[in-house]
Chains A and B, each alone.
Chain A
Amino acid sequence: MNQIMTLLNKELVESLKTFKLLAIIITFLIIGVLSPFIVLIMPDILESAVVDSGIEMVIPEPTADQSYMQFFSHINQLGFIVFLLLFGGILTNEISRRTLINLLTKGLKRHNVVLSKVLFILIIWTVIYFMSAMITYLYTVYFFDETVHHLPAALSTTWLYGIFLISLIFLFSAAFKNFIAVIFSIIGVVVVMMILTVFPSIEMFVPQHLLSLNMELIIGEKDLSDTLTPVAVTLSASILVFILSIFIFNKKTLV
């Protein structure tokens, strides 16, 4: 435990000194603020775009649903990418730069290296994600003053998908030695999952399904009971992948 706490503190200091923490906080702050604002100003933007063209267009009033749709869309398109680019090399950078060698040859346990990094990255992801979601929630309540269905569950599905992606970071970091290989492997898994979600019979068992489930929950098309299978599958898969990562890293040749 002492080793994990020491390394956790080191990770925090490192992310501060390298400005990674600042960058990810700013990114998720922007997502949190921008999502409801875009929905709010979109009718004005559309109106100004068509006003001189003579085209008649019925622009619907912005809603709270759209605000959350924007939020999930930004998290999927920007949030995950920035997060992977900033923290995807958390383990491989140490392997390729050989900075772990000094520490491991003093009796530092390899599984403590992985556990401390997993713990750190899970904390960062959880804090910045829910911080961003909270900002979107507060602005949405302020601007639109209407309730949506199953908001906590909808937010949690995307959070859980993020956990699954993080588990993949560690799996591929344990398997490969460089950051590029990790990123492309994750992209590969995401593409395969996207293909699999095309088939309705297996869609429920693919973590990628969580990303469509969130909006379906918000607009009331799906109920909480519909989340059980994909959540259970993704959670189990994430835990298994984390354990597998530790197992592979324990047997990895680092020199």
Chain B
Amino acid sequence: MDILKIENLSKSFNDKNVIDNLSLIVRENEIYGFIGSNGSGKTTTMNMILGQLEPNGGDIYVCGEKVNFGNTETNKYIGYLPDVPEFYNYMTAPQYLRLCAKLTDLKKNERESRIDYLLSIVGLSGERSKIKAYSRGMKQRLGVAQALIHQPELLICDEPTSALDPKGRMELLKILKDITAETTVIFSTHVLTDVERISDYAGILYEGNIVKEIDLSKTDFGDKGIDLKLDSNEYKSLSERIELSHLQGDNYRAVDISLRDLYQLLYTLDIQPSQLELSKKSLEDIYLEVTR
């Protein structure tokens, strides 16, 4: 089932097209990494999904229902974690979650158990201090809990790890990974390793559109080439036969040649590189390729 469907979405600010004819589908129980540089339109897209920003064109559907700007009914299906979530600082975490629960359709007799459950999965059980005393990481974890309070079909996270230290980032990514059994997650980031670590799919947003979608379950993104460590004589004789690009120091990369052919050539030229490695493409390489 398509949890989120975006068709030909456009948004411009002061005649500048930030989102240009963007289309996207996110399916049930996936984690979809929404990749893009700062200012590429990730947050703008998310705000339009939430009905908080009016698009210039196109349609958005959440769980099959159309999103309308302003008061959209589709937000009952959505949990949202902003990049820097803001709370009522005079409240404690349970008090804040109680407020959120009361504003949703969650049944009265289910509220307390849901709050206890969410506090436990985000590691804030027993935390009774006021939110104003919370660290950035704790606020982010509370942000996840509030976003999940009404058991949403779709959790939207806007750069959830950008303000966190490495430990906080690991903890948050684990929480996001763990909750996919009950919800679909779409999260924006420019930290590609975060996407590689937990996402099923990644979409690269560039110049207002998704320029590439990647199935991250297929871990092999292709080869970049074969990296070799050669001394100057070896480089000289080999470079007369194949194209070598210089990497760093004595390291070179052979491209457009198979491993078998390279072995054959090295044998023929009697070259014994001190290091030889098949270099695989990473998500970063693909990102740099398509946004070049």
List chain A positions with a Cβ less than 8 A from chain B.
2-3, 6-7, 10, 13-14, 17-18, 97-99, 101-111, 250-251, 253-255
A161 and B97 CA atoms in complex are apart in Å by 38
Which chain B positions have C-beta within 8 A of A254?
52
Q: Decide yes or no: A250 and B79 within 8 Å by CB, A14-B88, A17-B90, A102-B85 being known contacts.
A: no
Closest to B104 in A: A106
* Interface band, chain B: 20 to 34
Q: Are A6 and B102 in contact (CB under 8 A)?
A: yes
Contact B103 A105 (CB under 8 A): no
Contacts of A98 in B (CB 8 A): 82, 84, 86
- Overall SS of chain A's interface: helix
Q: By the criterion CB–CB under 8 Å, are A255 and B99 in contact?
A: no
Contact with A along B19-57 (1 / 0, CB 8 A): 000000000000000000000000100010010111000
Contact, CB under 8 Å: A110 / B71 = yes
Q: How far is the CA of A2 from the CA of B99 in the complex (A)?
A: 11
A250 lies within 8 A of B99 (CB) = no
Q: CB distance A105 to B50 under 8 Å?
A: yes
Most chain A beta carbons < 10 A, residue from B69, B70, B149, B150: B70
- Complex interface: chain B residues within 8 A of A253 (CB): 52-54
CB<8 Å pairs between A and B, sample of 24: A10-B88, A10-B99, A18-B90, A97-B86, A98-B82, A99-B86, A102-B146, A102-B147, A103-B100, A103-B103, A105-B50, A105-B75, A106-B103, A106-B104, A107-B75, A107-B103, A107-B104, A109-B71, A111-B71, A250-B70, A250-B71, A251-B69, A255-B43, A255-B47
Segment 248-286 of B: residues with Cβ below 8 Å from A: none
A55 to chain B, nearest CB (A): 56
Query: What's the least CB distance linking A120 to chain B, in Å?
Result: 15
The interface residues of chain A lying within 8 Å CB-to-CB of B143 are: 102
Q: Is B212 an interface residue (CB 8 A)?
A: no
Does B88 contact A99, Cβ atoms closer than 8 Å? yes
- Given A102-B80, A102-B82, verify A108-B88 contact (CB < 8 Å): no
| Contact bitstring B65-108, A, C-beta under 8 A = 1, else 0 | 00001110101101110101111101000000001101111000
